[in-house]
Chains A and B, each alone.
Chain A
Amino acid sequence: MAPAVLIQNLQKRYGPVEAVKDVSLTVEPGQIFGLLGPNGAGKTTTLRCLCTLTKPDLGIVEVAGVSAIKNPKKARQLLGYVAQEVALDKVLTGRELLQLQAALYHLPRAVAAERIKATLALLDLDNYADQKTGTYSGGLRKRLDLAAGLLHQPVVLVLDEPTVGLDIESRRVIWDFLRQLRDSGTTVLMTSHYLEEIDALADRVAIIDQGKVIAEGTPSELKDQVGGDRITLRIREFAPLDEAEKAKAMIQALPFVQDVLINPDQGNSLNLVVVPQSEALSTIQQALKEVGLPTFGIAQARPSLDDVYLAATGRTLLDADVAASGKRDPKAERKQNMR
């Protein structure tokens, strides 16, 4: 069986900007596949190439074995695309928008009516269906957009940053919904620059940075690959630097400790990478006591996807995100992306 989505060596540049340099990924049917990367990594461009909105410069793009480049009309039938920015007609009601959507996907009248009813119920939109979408809140708008993307029962649902800008509650509701959707058999390809989101939802993840896939696997595979556990140690709430240095020198000498960093942003706390072992915390605390240093707090955790990103790029996802968002000109890009 052909993979739900196959992208190979995708390339796309906008003038001098190489938005996508080399992206390859394979999404198996029935998965939630997460594309994680900081702002500007090339996630949206990749999805636009998949959904036939942008012609790639090079590469293979297939949906369930159908080439989105050679056979875009067939590919469109198989895809449901929910863009990063919700574009609704604010004069139409939610129901009218879904009716339009159903006609654009050529659903017969009776089927459309039934699906609209079911989809509205599924996303708990019944009470708002006959109000104009101009009156909707952000969460409602996103849910209606999601409903529109699902109406024709696509083989692959493609979601670009489905929860960006939403409140915690709306975000959780959408997470639950996506899990249910996956369990009922729909393949989901989603992007996010929130690692908790990908960690919580994705069966497989590709981490993308500056237009390239830098890591791919299940979230736990990726974390295992970076190896080691992470320990955060705070001697005091705000430790003086000399104490922190003293503790660092002492801890570095312990056999199971691989790396120690002092984090001045967190009151000179110590960030440790250690070989996973059960006595790590008590051993460290004991050693501190022997040199007369207190322990304010200590916690051990498995590596996160952020550690995966850090290991591959040398910076945290958050830093990369902040650095990139200042450099972009959303208005100019929108103009460029206008069709």
Chain B
Amino acid sequence: MTTTPVKPNTSLVAPANSPLKTPGLLSGEFFQETFALARRLFIQLQRRPSTLIAGIIQPLLWLVLFGALFQNVPEGLFGTSQNYGQFLGAGVIVFTAFSGALNAGLPVMFDREFGFLNRLLVAPLASRFSIVLASAIFITALSLIQTAAIIAVSALLGAGLPGPLGLSIVTLIVLLLVLGVTALSLGLAFALPGHVELIAVIFVTNLPLLFASTALVPLSFMPTWLQAIASLNPLSYAIEPIRYVYLHTHWSLSSVVLQAPWGSVTMGVALLVLIGFDALALISVQRLLRRTLA
């Protein structure tokens, strides 16, 4: 480097009086920065694929092991499912997407802690929302890959395969769930003081929400108090529609997918609940993100 001559390079000087425009949300610049930030996350994934591999193997182990555990359960116990594996498939799809999305805030938290976020904050980003959007895109892609793997393996295990329309409903539900949970996790990543606290929150939300949902057993198995909680749990509203399209070739928005203590929930209502959950999540973190990222 000592020998590198530096030509008096006038192009190194930006004209101080050049008209400066500042691009905003949804500009080409916004997409450029979002794409670049998402690319970074995908490169990290490609160089350190262990998270993805573990994220695919874990749900498959759930399917195989839990399926085997309850193999000899009398037929008809799990509603209309032919076997527990078929019953469990929907639960594993939703729970996997949920835990993935819950972890979305961790890389952002580490960027805050290591000072990498400062690099982004001193740059003239069109909108700092690109930082959030890039993470959301990344987590969504990850969840879809995991979902596809689970669907494929459970089909091999004899759980069957929904039709094309059924599969699109599964995808839609996964996307809705991931969107809301990712938003909450990213919000936490900016609100909490450090990764220790974030991991603690993830830890105390993850499994309780799983057990207080219809992922592992139907509502009818639970004591009344747990039934009440499970039928308020957004996870149940994601699980039951998926379970329904797995079991019924014919379904519509008015098909009843869940018998809650206070009445029946149709496919359409379940979807509305998920959309409502997203709206609530986005509104509640928007303020927070605006404060830290404005």
Distance between A285 CB and nearest chain B CB, rounded to angstroms: 42
Q: How far is the CA of A335 from the CA of B195 in the complex (A)?
A: 11
Within 8 A of B (CB), among A166-208: 172-173, 176-177, 180-181, 183-186
A92 contacts B40, CB within 8 Å? yes
Contact of B117 among A143, A150, A334, A339 (CB under 8 A): A339
Contacts of A91 in B (CB 8 A): 43-44, 47-48
Q: How far is the CA of A153 from the CA of B11 in the complex (A)?
A: 8
Contacts of A186 in B (CB 8 A): 12-13
**B263 at the A/B interface (Cβ < 8 Å)?**
no
Contact of A339 among B8, B13, B33, B292 (CB under 8 A): B292
Distance between A242 CB and nearest chain B CB, rounded to angstroms: 52
Contact of B194 among A87, A150, A335 (CB under 8 A): A335
Stretch at the interface among A101-109, A262-270, A300-308: A101-109
Within 8 A of B (CB), among A108-164: 121-124, 132, 143, 148, 150, 152-155
Contact of B13 among A53, A79, A122, A185 (CB under 8 A): A185
Contact of A184 among B13, B20, B33, B44 (CB under 8 A): B13
B12 contacts A100, CB within 8 Å? no
Within 8 A of A (CB), among B224-244: none
**A67 at the A/B interface (Cβ < 8 Å)?**
no
Distance between A81 CB and nearest chain B CB, rounded to angstroms: 5
Q: How far is the CA of A92 from the CA of B48 in the complex (A)?
A: 11
Within 8 A of B (CB), among A311-339: 334-335, 338-339
What bracket does the count of chain A residues touching chain B fall in?
Answer: 35 or more
A82-108: CB near B (< 8 Å → 1, else 0) gives: 010101110110001001110111100
Contact of A103 among B8, B9, B11, B35 (CB under 8 A): B35
**B51 at the A/B interface (Cβ < 8 Å)?**
no
Distance between A187 CB and nearest chain B CB, rounded to angstroms: 9
Contact of A87 among B33, B119, B125 (CB under 8 A): B119
Distance between B84 CB and nearest chain A CB, rounded to angstroms: 40
Distance between A76 CB and nearest chain B CB, rounded to angstroms: 4
**B36 at the A/B interface (Cβ < 8 Å)?**
yes
Distance between B176 CB and nearest chain A CB, rounded to angstroms: 30
A104 contacts B125, CB within 8 Å? yes
Distance between A89 CB and nearest chain B CB, rounded to angstroms: 6
Distance between A36 CB and nearest chain B CB, rounded to angstroms: 23
Within 8 A of A (CB), among B1-51: 1-2, 4, 6-14, 16-17, 20, 22-23, 29, 32-33, 35-37, 39-40, 43-44, 47-48
Contact of B122 among A2, A52, A100 (CB under 8 A): A52
Q: A53-B122, A153-B13 are in contact. Are A104 and B292 (CB under 8 A)?
A: no
**A64 at the A/B interface (Cβ < 8 Å)?**
yes
**B174 at the A/B interface (Cβ < 8 Å)?**
no
A104 contacts B4, CB within 8 Å? no
Distance between B172 CB and nearest chain A CB, rounded to angstroms: 31
**A70 at the A/B interface (Cβ < 8 Å)?**
no
**A289 at the A/B interface (Cβ < 8 Å)?**
no
B118 contacts A53, CB within 8 Å? yes
B4 contacts A121, CB within 8 Å? yes
Residue of B nearest to A153 (CB): B14
Contacts of B48 in A (CB 8 A): 91
A105 contacts B123, CB within 8 Å? yes
Q: A124-B1, A184-B13 are in contact. Are A89 and B6 (CB under 8 A)?
A: no
Contact of B43 among A52, A96, A103, A105 (CB under 8 A): A96
Q: How far is the CA of A122 from the CA of B193 in the complex (A)?
A: 39
A92 contacts B4, CB within 8 Å? no
Distance between A90 CB and nearest chain B CB, rounded to angstroms: 9
Spell out A's residues near B (CB within 8 Å).
1-2, 4, 29, 51-53, 64-66, 73-74, 76-79, 81, 83, 85, 87-89, 91-92, 96, 99-101, 103-106, 121-124, 132, 143, 148, 150, 152-155, 172-173, 176-177, 180-181, 183-186, 334-335, 338-339
What 13 new A-B contacts, CB under 8 Å, besides A181-B6, A338-B117?
A64-B17, A76-B123, A91-B47, A92-B43, A100-B36, A104-B33, A104-B125, A105-B124, A121-B4, A154-B14, A184-B12, A338-B193, A339-B117
Spell out B's residues near A (CB within 8 Å).
1-2, 4, 6-14, 16-17, 20, 22-23, 29, 32-33, 35-37, 39-40, 43-44, 47-48, 112-126, 193-194, 292
Q: List 11 A-B contacts (CB under 8 A).
A: A89-B40, A103-B33, A104-B120, A106-B23, A106-B124, A124-B2, A177-B6, A180-B6, A181-B6, A184-B13, A339-B118
